[in-house]
Amino acid sequence: MVRIFPFEGIIYNKKKIKNLGKVMSPPYDIINPQQQEALYNDSDFNVIRLILGKEFPGDGEYNNRYVRAAAFLNGWLRHKILLKDEKPCLYAYEQKFTVKGKTYSRLGFFAILRLEDMGRGKVFPHEETYPKAKLDRLQLMRAANANLDSVFSLYSDQKEKIVKALKTFMKRKPVIDVKDKDNVTHRLWKVDRKPAITKIMQEMKDKAVFIADGHHRYEAAIRYKNEMKTRNTKFTEDESYNHVMMFFTPLEGKGLVVLPIHRVVSQLAYFDPIRFEQDLGVYFDVKTYTATKKTAARTRKAWLKDIKKAGETKHAFGLYLGNNRYLLLTLRNEEMVDEMVAEEKPKAWKHLDVTVLHYTLFDRLLNIANETEDKVTYFKEEEAALDEVDKKGALMAVIMNSTKIEEIVAVASELEKMPHKSTYFYPKLLSGLVINKFEHGEKVKP
């Protein structure tokens, strides 16, 4: 049973912060050092100081970015830069955005979810995690005693019972209305009437919840809860630290956009390009596109279009080797992948593009299956991935098609996890909208 609850969210005080756009931030995991510096310069109160603080040479056990994040959080609360709501609420959240000329709207809500081990109840992950990233979020949670960012999840609302309940509150003026640097509009409303809250809680009880983004945060929250549980001989499950802040949006929503994440392979100690291209033919039908400097832009456009079209019916990838040499790879036979992958893996997992890529290109052809954390980098923009080859000397770029929503649900329902960076839900949730802080001794009850 999924148990969600309203919570006393912490939000920015508009009387103190006149331009809320200056204190918001993208999530920590997509911020590079240049963006971090720019966000620091936007405002002394930008949430970047909480979710991804700077590191300094003198940092140690008692003075580091996690300790500083906790100090900022407590200081901003003390000086009323941040305000904690007086009564528990849910928070309706709408994002309006444009992708390739088409405008979308995504609606959902923030609540706190009672933690359960993934796969043992009705909360399902879909993606593998990295130990370093989990430890990073855990250390931040230990210091701040708070969920500074939300986990992003999906649930089914075919009859729109929850969506309709949320829309009632959207007739009010939003408490937050900002536009980010990607031109995405973010609006937040408080859902503060008990009948509506109770209705949403009841509707969610029998739902399956699929984690779309924030796997590291969820797993860190479980570990944090377990650490706190060992210190509490009277643990009841009602403790505030036995919950995690989560955003819920319906699977049926028309604003659920999943973008591909492209791969770039760095230079390898040994690589024979002639042998490599010959071996590609073992697994793939290979179509080669060659271009001159004059025809490169036109060729690239046609190649990208063909990758997407081929991916509608087959496993297909684009491979860029530099010097205006483009390949379209289409898997010859799915049975070959079935033979490579362990028999116990479900069919839904075996037949993902990312699985096919991992076992053919990374494992059999490049022999880097166990080194992807060091040898492979990830890009959401096609041009950025291709530039890594042309301008920074990477070995090759792999252009992917998007993972489908039904594939994500099918894999998660089988209690399996996709390889790292299988999905990119766009847009990301904006950081700084609402924070959930755990109070010692505080209980969460209906």
Nearest CA to 42 out of 74, 70, 19, 13 is that of 19
Q: Of the ranges 82-91, 268-277, 309-318, 345-354, which one carries the lowest mean pLDDT score?
A: 345-354
Maximum alpha-carbon separation in the chain: 73
Q: In this structure, what is the dihedral angle of CA atoms 341, 347, 348, 352, given to the nearest 10 degrees?
A: 40
Given a cut of 90, is residue 370 above it in pLDDT? no
- The residue ranking higher by pLDDT, 202 or 29, is 202
How many angstroms separate the Cα of 33 from the Cα of each of 243, 291, 393, 395?
A: 31, 35, 21, 24
Residue 375 lies in a domain: yes
DSSP state at residue 139: H
Nearest CA to 127 out of 403, 429, 433, 444 is that of 403
Given a cut of 90, is residue 350 above it in pLDDT? no
Q: In which band, very low, low, confident or very high, does the pLDDT at 335 lie, cut at 50, 70 and 90?
A: confident
Asked whether 350 and 338 are in contact (CB, 8 A), the reply is: yes
Element (H, E) at 348: helix 347-350
Q: What is the pLDDT of residue 204?
A: 97
Q: In which band, very low, low, confident or very high, does the pLDDT at 233 lie, cut at 50, 70 and 90?
A: confident
Q: What is the pLDDT of residue 244?
A: 97
18 with 56, same domain: the answer is yes
pLDDT tens per residue across span 96-114: 999 989 999 999 999 999 9
Interval 210-230 mean pLDDT: 93
Q: In which band, very low, low, confident or very high, does the pLDDT at 347 lie, cut at 50, 70 and 90?
A: confident
Residue 407 lies in a domain: no
Given a cut of 70, is residue 209 above it in pLDDT? yes
134 with 152, same domain: the answer is yes
Q: In this structure, what is the dihedral angle of CA atoms 60, 61, 63, 66, given to the nearest 10 degrees?
A: 110
Interval 214-236 mean pLDDT: 92
H, E, C per residue of 165-208: HHHHHCCCCCCEEEECCCCCEEEEEEECCHHHHHHHHHHHCCCC
Prior bond of 57 cis (ω within 30°):
no
Question: What residue numbers bound the domain in which 312 lies?
Answer: 261-401
* 215, burial (CB in 10 Å: exposed 0-12, middle 13-18, buried 19+): buried
Q: Which residues contact 121 (CB under 8 A, 6 or more apart)?
A: 1, 2
Given a cut of 70, is residue 342 above it in pLDDT? no
Residue 338 lies in a domain: yes
114 with 189, same domain: the answer is yes
Coil, strand or helix: which one is 87?
coil
Given a cut of 70, is residue 446 above it in pLDDT? no
Angle at 247 between CA 245 and CA 251, to 5 degrees: 145
Residue 358 lies in a domain: yes
- Look up tokens 């028999």; give the residue: 343
How many angstroms separate the Cα of 318 from the Cα of each of 71, 229, 235, 305, 324?
A: 47, 49, 53, 10, 13
Coil, strand or helix: which one is 214?
coil
336 with 206, same domain: the answer is no
How many angstroms separate the Cα of 372 from the Cα of each of 137, 272, 362, 368, 424?
A: 22, 19, 8, 6, 18
Q: Of the ranges 12-21, 146-155, 186-195, 335-344, which one carries the lowest mean pLDDT score?
A: 335-344
Per DSSP, what are the bridge partners of residue 378?
263
Q: What percentage of the chain has pLDDT greater than the value 70? A: 98
* 364, burial (CB in 10 Å: exposed 0-12, middle 13-18, buried 19+): middle
- The residue ranking higher by pLDDT, 348 or 148, is 148
Q: What is the pLDDT of residue 343?
A: 64
Residue 138 lies in a domain: yes
Interval 194-199 mean pLDDT: 97
Q: What is the pLDDT of residue 111?
A: 98
Interval 338-351 mean pLDDT: 76
Mean pLDDT of all residues in the chain? Answer: 92
Given a cut of 80, is residue 336 above it in pLDDT? no
270 with 397, same domain: the answer is yes
225 with 292, same domain: the answer is no
Q: What is the pLDDT of residue 8?
A: 96
How many angstroms separate the Cα of 53 from the Cα of each of 18, 60, 144, 213, 283?
A: 23, 14, 12, 21, 45
346 with 433, same domain: the answer is no
Per DSSP, what are the bridge partners of residue 154?
210, 249
Residue 16 lies in a domain: yes
* 440, burial (CB in 10 Å: exposed 0-12, middle 13-18, buried 19+): exposed
pLDDT tens per residue across span 58-96: 999 899 999 999 999 999 999 999 999 999 999 999 999
The beta strands (E) that lie in 28-124 are given as 82-84, 90-99, 102-114, 123-124
Two tokens at 88? Answer: 């528990």
161 with 109, same domain: the answer is yes
* Chain center to CA of 82: 25
Asked whether 116 and 244 are in contact (CB, 8 A), the reply is: no
Interval 20-38 mean pLDDT: 94
265 with 225, same domain: the answer is no
What pTM did the predictor assign? 0.88
Q: In which band, very low, low, confident or very high, does the pLDDT at 126 lie, cut at 50, 70 and 90?
A: confident
Interval 119-135 mean pLDDT: 83
Here the contacts of 28-35 (C-beta below 8 Å, separation 24 or greater) are 28/52, 28/149, 28/431, 29/133, 29/216, 30/428
Given a cut of 80, is residue 33 above it in pLDDT? yes
Given a cut of 70, is residue 140 above it in pLDDT? yes
326 with 249, same domain: the answer is no
Buried b (16+ CB within 10 A) or exposed e, 299-330: bbeebbebbeebbeebbbbbbbbbebbbbbbb
Q: What is the pLDDT of residue 228?
A: 92
Given a cut of 90, is residue 395 above it in pLDDT? yes
pLDDT tens per residue across span 290-333: 898 899 999 999 999 999 999 999 999 999 999 999 999 999 98
Query: How many structural domains compose the chain?
Result: 2
Write down the number of H helices and E strands in the chain. 15, 21
246 with 269, same domain: the answer is no
253 with 268, same domain: the answer is no
Residue 387 lies in a domain: yes
